[in-house]
Structure 1
Amino acid sequence: MDCGLDCEKCGAYLATLNDNQALREKTAKLWAELNKAPILPEHINCQGCRVKGIKTVFCDSLCGIRQCALKKGVTTCGDCPELGKCQIVGRIIANNPTALKNLKG
């Protein structure tokens, strides 16, 4: 949750944590439809942004927010002095105000 979204509510995280193949399949289907991309159940494994370990391809290498946090050496965007004016995480906060609360909490 570098960005404030709650990993503990993410289908990939929950499927990994509980080794739930049915949830992997459901999440893969949903994400494939939403992203118009070939996302398969075997792609649905993630232990969250804040810990070392397996992540989905998006969370590991495609997420601009995570890459920015790693580059700046901050644990989350909530630790970044540029949070208030950041356009990258600002898009998430605009669509999910809970994300800002998560980052500041």
Structure 2
Amino acid sequence: MKKMISYCGYRCDLCSAYRKNINSKADQRDASKGLSKYYGLNIPTEEIYCYGCLNQNKDLRIIDKSCSIRSCVLEQGLDNCLVCDDVCKKLEERFINYQKVKDSLSDTSKDDYQKFIKPYEMKKRYSK
């Protein structure tokens, strides 16, 4: 699958909730459990199916409909935050630090890292 970077810098193509990564109800359950475990997001299993925030069709599902970063990038006419000159508070709040996540949970497997942490480690992509 082609690399797909969201407005904030998350990797949609690696996200377990992204539609191209959902092949079964089991995938949806796994994503729902992982997002709850690592981020406290309680998204019902049947709602785990995202077209990505780059999608402009309002009828297609996006997991985080109220994302302030998405609206900011669209208002400024940017491709994503990576091209913005300012790393703002909204963006810093979304930075994922693998070591902090790993330290807070004793059972972080390599598989969980690939599914639930790596897609959201956008701080690595913001090395300006």
Q: Could you state the TM-score of these two structures normalised by the residue count of structure 2?
A: 0.58
Pick from 6, 14, 17 the counterpart of residue 9 of structure 1: 14
Q: Given the superposition, is the C-alpha separation of residues 98 and 12 from structure 1 closer, same or farther in structure 2, using an over 3 Å criterion?
A: closer
- Identity, in percent, stands at 26
Amino acid at match of 1:99: M
Cα offset, 1:101, TM superposition: 4.2
Report if the CA contact (8 A) 1:4-1:77 is conserved: yes
Cα offset, 1:32, TM superposition: 4.3
Instruction: Tell whether 2:93 aligns with 1:91.
Output: yes
Q: Given the superposition, is the C-alpha separation of residues 62 and 10 from structure 1 closer, same or farther in structure 2, using an over 3 Å criterion?
A: same
Mind listing any 5+ residue stretches in structure 2 that lack a counterpart? 1-5, 99-119
Mind listing any 5+ residue stretches in structure 1 that lack a counterpart? none
CA distance in structure 2 between the aligned counterparts of 1:30 and 1:79, rounded to whole angstroms: 30
CA distance in structure 2 between the aligned counterparts of 1:41 and 1:93, rounded to whole angstroms: 25
Aligned CA RMSD, in angstroms, stands at 2.9
Report if the CA contact (8 A) 1:69-1:76 is conserved: yes
Q: Write out per-residue CA displacement over residues 38-75 of structure 1, whole angstroms, 9 at most, x where no aligned residue.
A: x22221111222234533341xx221211211222212
CA distance in structure 2 between the aligned counterparts of 1:94 and 1:26, rounded to whole angstroms: 20
Structure with greater helix percent: 1
Report if the CA contact (8 A) 1:3-1:103 is conserved: no
Instruction: Tell whether 2:61 aligns with 1:40.
Output: no
Q: Could you state the TM-score of these two structures normalised by the residue count of structure 1?
A: 0.68
Number of residue pairs aligned between Structure 1 and Structure 2:
97
Name the SS of the counterpart of 2:70 in structure 1: helix
